[in-house]
Chain A
């Protein structure tokens, strides 16, 4: 039982989600040419991508913890956070493709960040394939923890360094900080930051449920 399993946390998550949905759709937004009302997707696409990176970092933390402590509990946590991260990644790609359709003209514009996102998903699908190809539990936990750390290290340059070296349709290319054009308007921050928390908390909630279920299953198998 951690703080994330308590009712208070769930109520907070629900309030934040409700605020993101209602405030995100109804609160005033700046009129940016070409984006218009689609700028509201910032609260969904961008914040889902942010929370995916947070969730995946939590998974890396548990993988490192597994390697130093060899507790099966940490392996279960690592894989469930990867699962949550994959769902967030798919949602982030879909919302991004919709946004791209109405601002850039195509669902897939071969933008470096779009391609990077696709590679990120390939890496984590590979992680799941790797897990299913090893039958021994200890070996599976150890090997997949190692791959998780190694793959994340190669993902970071792909997502954060390479797109800045080439032309990108995304804001933040060519060395500019990511959100300068949205930061001009402070009103969006009041929904944007809570929306990151909302998606992160929702997926921590989901992962915690799955982790507790798996821990119980493991306990039944052991007894």
Chain B
């Protein structure tokens, strides 16, 4: 017998595998954003400096992540939702959704990085550090946006609410991610990046704990 959280994550992957709408939609969304910026910026004549590179990268990724996570509580607004809620506790549902979102976001961010670097080149010197930052970014956005997506699914205009409520919440995380990314451009990055990453992880822990405590109130109705 699997634990309920693992079973729920498995269920989410199975549903996604069956129709592949959300993930392929998010991938196309990212690739078209990269292509639009590529056409607008004429990088062949004026290549990016590090600051422009990382700003554009994180802006594209934040929009794609918000778009992707906003679907977490979207497709289950029907009777099947009631069924899951009877089978398992709300705590395991929010944890499973967060872990699932973090995994999908990590895959999306890695693919975004590969395509983005192919198009724009890459000022990243420490690939392993940047990879770690992508992992932490996925966990961060999953922990802040999953509950916001549950909240906005209760409103009448879900996609607008997701942006209006989600963006201010992720701003502290984006600022810390941008600070950490700058260190991955330097060979001495590993020595100085600790403070930003630890602060980021502390914020994630707070938001995750709050999601865990608040979600049971959200679905009880």
A-to-B contact residues, CB < 8 Å: 67, 119, 122-123, 125-126, 129-130, 133-135, 138-139, 142-143, 145-147, 149-151, 153-154, 157-158, 161-162, 165-166
Contact = CB atoms under 8 A, between A and B. Distances in A.
Contact of B211 (A126, A150, A161): A150
Contact of A130 (B151, B199, B210, B214): B151
Interface in B189-221: 195-196, 199, 202-203, 206-207, 210-211, 214, 217-218, 221
A150 B169 contact: yes
B172 A130 contact: no
B217 A146 contact: yes
B9 interface: no
Given A130-B155, A133-B161, A142 B172 contact: no
A134 to B, nearest CB: 5
Main secondary structure of the interface of B (DSSP, over half): helix
B164 interface: yes
B217 A153 contact: no
Interface of B: 144, 147-148, 151-152, 154-157, 160-161, 164-165, 167-169, 171-172, 175-176, 179, 195-196, 199, 202-203, 206-207, 210-211, 214, 217-218, 221
B165 A130 contact: yes
B162 to A, nearest CB: 10
A166 B195 CA distance: 12
A151 B211 CA distance: 11
A130 to B, nearest CB: 6
Given A125-B164, A154-B172, 9 more contacts: A126-B168, A130-B151, A130-B164, A133-B155, A134-B154, A134-B155, A142-B218, A149-B210, A150-B169
B100 to A, nearest CB: 20
Contact of A165 (B156, B196, B211, B221): B196
Contacts of B179: 165-166
Given A142-B221, A146-B217, A123 B168 contact: yes
Most chain A CB within 10 A, of B161, B202, B217, is at: B217
Given A129-B161, A133-B161, A162-B176, A143 B168 contact: no
Contacts of A138: 221
A158 B171 contact: yes
A154 B214 contact: no
Contact of B217 (A142, A158, A162): A142
